[in-house]
Structure 1
Amino acid sequence: MANASELINIAAPLPHEKQYEDTVEIVVLPSAPADPATFRAWLNHQEITDRFEWVAGQFRAVVGAQDGLRIFSEQISTTRDEKGVWFIKGDGRSLRFKKGMNLLSVFIKGTSKKRCMKRCVFLVDQSLYHAFEAMGYAVATDRLWQAEIYRRSARGTLAEIFGPDMLETDAHMRTTGYSEQELETGLNALSRQERAVISAYAAGFNRRIDEVRNDPGQLPFEFVTMGFSPDDWNGMDILAWGALTQRHFDLEALDQSQISNSVLLQYLMQTFPDYYQGMFEDLRWHNDPAAQTYIGPQEALLPRQALGLRSGRNGYLDHRTVLRADLKTACKKMRSAKANVLKTLRRINAFIKMGSYAWAVSGKKTASGNPILYSGPQMGFSVPSTLVEGDIRAAGINVSGMAIPGIPGIIVGRTPHHAWSLQVGHSHSTDYYIESPEAVYLDRVEVIRVAGQADTLLPVYRTARGPIVNPTPYHDNTSDPIISWRYAHWGHEFNVAGACLKMSQAKSIDAFGEGIEMLAVSQHVCYADRFGNIAYWMSGRDPVRPEGGEYRLPQGLLAAPLDWDDDILKPRSHGRNPESGFFGGWNNKSNPGYGSGFNSTEDIYGPFHRAHLIESFLQGSQELTFEQLRDFALNITTTDSFPYIYDLSVVPPSAQAAGNPWLFVADSFTQAVQAAGMTPERHFALETLKTWDGHSIAGGPGSWAGGKYRSGAWVLIDNWLREVIRLTFEDELPIDLDEHGVSKETYMGSSQSLLFNVILHALQTDDSGIINTYDWFSNRLNPDAPQNADDIIVAALDHVMEAFGGAIPEDVPRGEIVYYHDILGELWRSPYSYRSTYAQIVEMGPMGPVRIESMFPLGESGNILMGADGGPIFDPHFFSMTPIFDTFAHRPFPVFLNRRPYGK
Structure 2
Amino acid sequence: MRTARIARRVLIVLLTLTVVIVTLGLSGVAWLRHENRPATGEVPLAGLHGPVQVTRDEWGVPHIRADTDEDAVFALGFVHWQDRSWQMEFQRRIVGGTLAEVLGPGAVEKDRFLRTMGFRRVAEQALPALKPESRQLISAYTAGVNAAMGRTAPAPEFRVLGISPAPWSDIDAVSWSQMMSFDLAGNYVDEIIAARAHARAGQAGIDALYPPAVPGSATILSDEDRARPAAAGTRSDAGADRRDSAAVAAAGAGAVRAAYSLGMAPAPGKGSNNWVVDGSRTRSGAPILSDDPHLGLSSPMLWYLADVRGKDLRAIGASIPGLPAIVIGRTDTFAWGVTNVGADVQDLYVEPKDAPLTSRQEVIAVKGQDDVSVTVRESRHGPIVSDVGVSDAPEVSGPDGQPRTLALRWVALDPGDTTMDAFLDLNYARTVGDAVTALRRYVSPSQNFVLADTEGTIGYYAPGKLPVRSWEGHLPVPGDGSHEWSGYVPFDEVPHVIGPASGAVVSANNDPGPPEASGPRLAGPRVWADPYRAQRILDMLGERTDLDVAAMRAMQMDVRSGPWAELSARLLATTPLDEAGQRALDRLRTWDGVATRDSVETTIFEAWLYRLRGLATDELGEEARSRTRAVGAQLEQGVFCPDAAAGVSTCEQALAHTLRETTDDLRRRLGADMDRWTWGSTHDAVHGHGAFDGIPVLGRIFSSRIPNGGGTDTVAPARPENASLEHRNGASYRQIVDLAEPDASRYVGSLGQGGSPWHPHARDQLPLWRDGADIPMSTREQDWGGTEHLTLTPAG
Q: How does 1:248-647 map to 2 (within 5 A)?
A: 248-252=183-187, 255-268=188-201, 276-278=202-204, 280-281=206-207, 283-302=209-228, 304-305=230-231, 311-315=232-236, 317=238, 321-323=239-241, 326-328=244-246, 331-332=249-250, 334-340=252-258, 342-343=260-261, 355-472=271-388, 479-491=402-414, 494-519=417-442, 520-545=444-469, 547=470, 549=471, 551-556=473-478, 561-568=482-489, 571-593=493-515, 603-604=527-528, 609-619=532-542, 621-636=544-559, 639=560
Judge conservation of contact 1:382–1:820 (CA < 8 Å) in 2: yes
Corresponding residue number in structure 1 for 2:725:
none
Residues 12-71 of structure 1 deviation map (CA, whole Å, 9 limit, x = unaligned): xxxxxxxxxxxxxxxxxxxxxxxxxxxxxxxxxxxxxxxxxxxxxxxxxxxxxxxxxxx9
CA displacement at 1:220 relative to structure 2: 2.3
Structure 1 residue 755: Cα displacement: 2.0
Matched with 2:748 is 855
Q: What's the secondary structure of 1:532's corresponding residue?
A: coil
Percentage of pairs with the same residue: 25
State the one-letter code of the partner of 1:859.
G
Q: Using a 3 Å threshold, how does the CA distance of structure 1 residues 804 and 283 change in structure 2: closer, same or farther?
A: closer
**Residue 80 of structure 1, aligned match among 39, 56, 69:** 56
Count of residues in correspondence between the two structures: 685
Aligned 8 A contact 1:427 1:541 in 2: no
| Partner SS, residue 134 of structure 1 | helix
- Given that 2:333 and 2:453 are in contact with CA atoms closer than 8 Å, whether structure 1 keeps it comes out as yes
User: CA-to-partner distance for each residue in 1:281-333, whole Å, 9 max, x for gaps?
Assistant: 4543454333222222322224545xxxxx3133255xxx4529735355346
Q: Do structure 1's residue 242 and structure 2's residue 177 form an aligned pair?
A: yes
Specify the code of the residue in structure 2 equivalent to 1:841: I
Give yes or no for contact 2:708–2:770 (8 Å, CA) kept in 1.
no
| Equivalent residue, structure 1, for 2:82 | 141
Question: Cα deviation per residue 1:739-780 (whole Å; 9 max; x = unaligned)?
Answer: xxxxx4x7xx250514234269x6xxxxxxxxxxx6769989
The C-alpha deviation readout for 1:801-849, integer Å capped at 9, x for no partner, is 899999965524422223444343123332224241211111112xx51
Q: 1:513 to 1:211 in 2, by over 3 A?
A: same
**Secondary structure of 2:478 counterpart:** coil
Report what 1:114 is aligned to: none
Q: Is residue 737 of structure 2 the alignment partner of residue 811 of structure 1?
A: no
- Could you say which residue in structure 1 is the equivalent of 2:618? 735
- For residues 738 and 235 of structure 2, the distance between their equivalents in structure 1, rounded to whole angstroms, comes to 43
Distance in 2, matches of 1:278 and 1:599, equals 17
Deviation at 1:224, TM superposition (A): 2.0
Cα distance in 1, alignment partners of residues 230 and 351 from structure 2: 31
- Cα separation, 1, equivalents of 2:286 and 2:88: 38
Name the Cα RMSD after superposition: 4.0
SS of residue in 2 equivalent to 1:294: coil
Q: Which amino acid aligns with 2:189?
A: Q
Spell out the pairing of 1:110-125 with structure 2 (5 A cutoff).
Answer: none
Letter in 2 for 1:576: I
Higher strand share: 1
Partner of 1:829: 705
Structure 1 residues 358 and 341, CA, compared in 2 at 3 Å: closer, same or farther?
A: closer
Measured in 1, the distance between the counterparts of 2:234 and 2:568 equals 35
Q: Is the 8 A contact 1:371 1:529 kept in 2?
A: yes
**Equivalent position SS for 1:231:** coil
Cα offsets for 1:367-419 (capped at 9, x unmatched): 22222111112223212111110011113011100011111100010111221
Say whether residues 1:219 and 2:170 are aligned partners. Answer: no
Asked if the contact 2:275–2:505 (Cα under 8 Å) also holds between the matched residues in 1, the reply is: yes
Aligned to 2:723: none
Q: Is the 8 Å Cα contact of residues 468 and 521 (structure 2) preserved in structure 1?
A: no
Q: Does the CA contact (< 8 Å) of 1:256 and 1:599 recur in 2?
A: no
CA contact (8 A) 1:588 1:609 kept: no
> What does residue 600 of structure 2 align with?
712
Q: Which moved more, 1:288-297 or 1:139-148?
A: 288-297
Letter in 2 for 1:888: G
Specify whether residues 416 and 225 from structure 1 end up closer, same or farther in structure 2 by C-alpha distance, changes over 3 A only. Answer: same
Distance 1:723 1:877, change over 3 A: closer
What CA deviation, in whole Å up to 9, does each residue of 1:324-378 have, x standing for no partner?
973535534633443345435699xxx9x95222221222222222221111122
Q: TM-score, with normalisation over the residues of structure 2?
A: 0.76
Q: 1:145-198 CA deviation, whole Å, 9 max, x = no partner?
A: 110000111011112222221111111111112465x64443222210111121
What amino acid does structure 2 have at the position aligned with 1:323? Answer: D
Which residue matches 2:131? 191
More helix by share: 2
In structure 2, how many angstroms separate the alpha carbons of the residues matched to 1:209 and 1:152?
A: 17
Q: Equivalent residue of 2:430, what SS?
A: coil
Post-superposition offset of 1:516: 2.5
How far apart, in 1, do the equivalents of 2:120 and 2:92 lie?
15
**Contact 2:178-2:412 at 8 Å conserved across structures:** no
2: distance between equivalents of 1:316 and 1:494?
30
With over 3 angstroms needed to count, the CA separation of the structure-2 counterparts of 1:325 and 1:346, relative to structure 1, is: closer
CA contact (8 A) 2:101 2:364 kept: yes
Q: Could you say which structure has the greater relative contact order, defined with CA pairs below 8 angstroms and 6 or more residues apart? A: 2
**Could you tell me the TM-score, scaled by structure 1's length?**
0.68
Q: For 1:83-137, what per-residue CA distance to the aligned partner results, in whole angstroms no more than 9, with x for missing partners?
A: 221111124xxxxxxxxxxxxxxxxxxxxxxxxxxxxxxxxxxx23222111111
Report whether the alignment pairs 1:660 with 2:562.
yes
Amino acid at match of 1:256: V
The answer for the alignment partner of 2:164 in structure 1 is 229
Residue 441 of structure 1 contacts residue 463 of structure 1 at CA under 8 Å; is this kept in 2? yes
In structure 1, what is the Cα distance between the partners aligned to 2:368 and 2:591? 58
Query: For residues 199 and 895 of structure 1, do their structure 2 counterparts lie closer, same or farther at Cα, with a shift above 3 Å needed?
Result: closer
Distance 1:251 1:400 in 2: 30
The question of whether the paired residues in 1 share the 8 Å contact of 2:600 and 2:675 is answered with yes
Deviations 1:845-889 (A, max 9, x none): 2xx51511111133212147xxxxxxxxx2222234345334432
Q: How much does 1:231 deviate?
A: 0.8
Q: Which residue of 2 aligns with 1:154?
A: 95
Q: Which runs of 5+ in 1 are unaligned?
A: 1-70, 92-126, 213-217, 269-275, 306-310, 640-658, 698-706, 739-743, 763-773, 865-873, 898-904
Answer yes or no: is the 8 Å Cα contact 2:553–2:772 preserved in 1: no
Of 869, 884, 890, which aligns to 2:768? Answer: 884
CA distance in structure 2 between the partners assigned to 1:72 and 1:223 by the alignment:
28
Consecutive unaligned residues in structure 2, runs of 5 or more? 1-46, 392-396, 693-697, 710-717, 719-729, 782-796
